Amino acid sequence: MTATEINFDGLIGPMHNYAGLSPGNIASASNAGAISQPRAAALQGLAKMKRLMDRGLVQGFIPPPRRPAIAALRALGFDGDDRSVLALAAAEDPVLFNNACSASAMWAANAATVIAGPDSGDGRVHLVTANLATMLHRSFEASDTFATLRTIFADQRHFAVHPPLPGTQHFSDEGAANHMRITPRHGQRGLNIFVHGAARGSRFPERQAKRAGEAVARLSGADAFHTLQSQAAIEAGAFHNDVVAVANEHVLLAHAAAFEDREGLFAAAERAAPDFVAVEVDSIGLDDAISSYLFNSQLLTLPEGGMALVLPSEARENPRVWTAVETILAGNNPINEAIVVDVRESMRNGGGPACLRLRVPIGEEAMRAIDSRFLLDERRWEELCALVDRHWPERIDAAELADPALWAAAGAAHDALDALLARV
């Protein structure tokens, strides 16, 4: 089967702010309380999408859920009209309120785990919505994400969209950020690699439970290999596997300290793809890898052949990391191009190019079944840019999240986006 991999990027929402809600995410903690720029953030994300569209790649987007998360606050007992709910929550529990204001759904790699049709038990693409149970602010996303994915991938002949797993630590699931797929080609059967944490006394949360990966594999009927993320990587701030490793078709690019059992993982990958290529980097430390997000790059197969790394500009600005990139490009592997993008607003909150996208490998017939409103062409991309430029706030001070004028501005931005999507 021929297949195309579509990148569905999260459209960065109008409440993008730096509240520092994510223990273990060093960039998020370091920038807590800083002034964010939602308009610039969303336009940076859209510019990245356009770079890939211009290279002939298929690009989609996932709209942000409404924030502040009024429905979540109502479910926790805050009552009254919308403004009253927000005012009560801000006054009575400011920490909870800040969590309800998070725009973290922008990182679509955490939206779901995607199992390609050739790998699943019934030939459909399976999307298992992530529960994101470890972090309060992210757990608020799950129900919204499930509804959005059911809209985009509504055709049950081609897609199976699963609800989140139980929202407990036993099934803590961070989605595609801890999932990799090794296959000879996107349209062929592959091996699904689930990377998990464990209770090892780490100073940062080990967010992905092994049981979650096992459940996703059972639900989809996929062949799976479960492997433990290295404790050293988590201690250094690699809160997801995609901060230290990325795979594409038969290629794995990873830091040498990414996995506890690299030999077992590589052996499984070689069985799944006889032409498997492991590109390991040991010339930089984990601190450089994490601050630059070298491995949180998108690794893509280009239409004309070869593979490209879509890197954040921070990788080019670090001389040690850029030397490592040049070594990768000059090596005996399919990665032959670096595409540098500016996603600084996302990076300051702890998410690089790979965090911003959900990868969906898909055949031609299933592609035609996707809701076309969420696939970008030149016109739709221009509409989104104009919408963001007109309605997204220019700046948000994290100390001013309780300002009713900000809630109203965010609501108006979401109304405008809903109106755009309502036009067929």
pLDDT score of 24 more than 80:
no
Q: Within a domain: residue 296?
A: no
The count of domains in the chain is 1
- Give the pLDDT mean for 342-361: 96
Nearest to 193 by CA among 308, 123, 281, 276: 276
pLDDT per residue as tens digits for the range 67-114: 999 999 999 999 999 999 999 999 999 999 999 999 999 999 999 999
Q: With a cut of 80, say whether residue 25 has pLDDT above it.
A: no
Kindly report the average pLDDT of the chain as a whole number: 96
The pLDDT, as a whole number, for residue 424 is: 65
Rounded percentage of the chain residues whose pLDDT exceeds 70: 100
pLDDT of residue 318: 98
Residue 31's pLDDT is what?
81
Catalytic residues: 174, 240, 355
* Residue-level pLDDT at 28: 77
- 104-146 pLDDT, tens digit per residue, is 999 999 999 999 999 999 999 999 999 999 999 999 999 999 9
Query: 298: left (phi > 0), else alpha (psi -120 to 50), else beta?
Result: beta
Nearest to 259 by CA among 175, 195, 178: 195
Q: Mean per-residue pLDDT for 306-320?
A: 98
The dihedral sign for the CA sequence 51, 52, 56, 58: negative
Mean local confidence (pLDDT), 397-412 = 96
**Which of 31-40, 41-50, 140-149, 376-385 has the least mean pLDDT?**
31-40
Taking residues 58-64, report their average pLDDT: 98
Q: Which residues contact 371 (CB under 8 A, 6 or more apart)?
A: 151, 152, 153, 154
Question: Does 401 map to a domain?
Answer: yes
278: in domain: no
State the residue range of the domain holding 362.
Answer: 3-67+102-245+351-422
Q: For tokens 């221009």, name the residue.
A: 382
Alpha-carbon torsion, ordered 169, 175, 176, 177, to 10 deg: -50
Given a cut of 70, whether residue 35 has pLDDT beyond it is: yes
Cβ proximity of 235 and 204 under 8 Å: yes
Q: What is the pLDDT of residues 167-194, one digit of tens each?
A: 999 999 999 999 999 999 999 999 999 9
pLDDT (tens digit per residue) in 228-272 = 999 999 999 999 999 999 999 999 999 999 999 999 999 999 999
3-state secondary structure of 192: strand
Is residue 13 domain-resident? yes
55 in any annotated domain: yes
- Which CATH number fits the domain that encloses residue 357? 3.75.10.20
341 domain residue, yes or no: no
Specify if 281 maps to a domain.
no
- Per-residue pLDDT, 324: 98
CA-CA-CA-CA torsion sign (304, 51, 247, 128): negative
Choice between 361 and 31, residue whose per-residue pLDDT is larger = 361
Listed range (200-204, 332-336, 389-393) with the worst mean pLDDT: 200-204
Tell me the two tokens of residue 133: 């149970």
Q: Is the residue at 29 inside a domain?
A: yes
| pTM of this prediction exceeds 0.85 | yes
Over residues 365-391, mean pLDDT: 98
